[in-house]
Amino acid sequence: MKKTLLIFFLFMLAIPSGFAQLRTYSFEEVEQLSLENPKPIVVFVHTNWCKYCKMMENTTFKNKELINELNTNFYFVLFDAESKNDIIFNKHTFKFKPTGQNTGIHELATALATVENQVVYPTLTILDPNYSILFQKQSFLKAKDLLSILEKIKEFPIFEKNSSK
């Protein structure tokens, strides 16, 4: 019995307390939520086959400080650039565009992840509440680097009214 209790106690110590969960939204949800509570929108454009995208998902977006920042001050959209679902966003319907057999890119990914006429994964795009692009970065980002970017975004004048809440 003592051995069982000891094992249970050690197991409980091994589990990290306070699982921080990153809230993700669809583009449709962001539009609806923004009507009442406008916030910047962080879009992580990725694919299932991109190893750097997976690394960001498994490291950067698991950082508790970053999760807290994104959950509190931003809307976060995790967007698969090869999604085949139509997406209605900002009064426009975006569709998947095939580029070959079993390949293609979503029009919304092209709109959000194109920098210098090129789409690269991962791309992090930050939109203002009017859906204008404020920032784009096409590369792997560590949590501390992304936190720094988010802090700078919060200094933009268009967000001053939100910071007084």
Domains parsed from the chain with CATH numbers: 21-163 (3.40.30.10)
pLDDT in tens, 78-137: 999 999 999 999 999 999 999 888 899 999 999 999 999 999 999 999 999 999 999 999
Reported confidence tier of residue 5, pLDDT bands at 50, 70, 90: very low
3-state secondary structure of 138: coil
Is the model's pLDDT at 14 over the cut of 80? no
Q: Are the CB atoms for 150 and 73 separated by under 8 Å? A: yes
Residue 103: strand pairing partners: 100
Give the pLDDT mean for 17-38: 89
Half-sphere exposure of 152 (CA within 13 A, CB side): 9
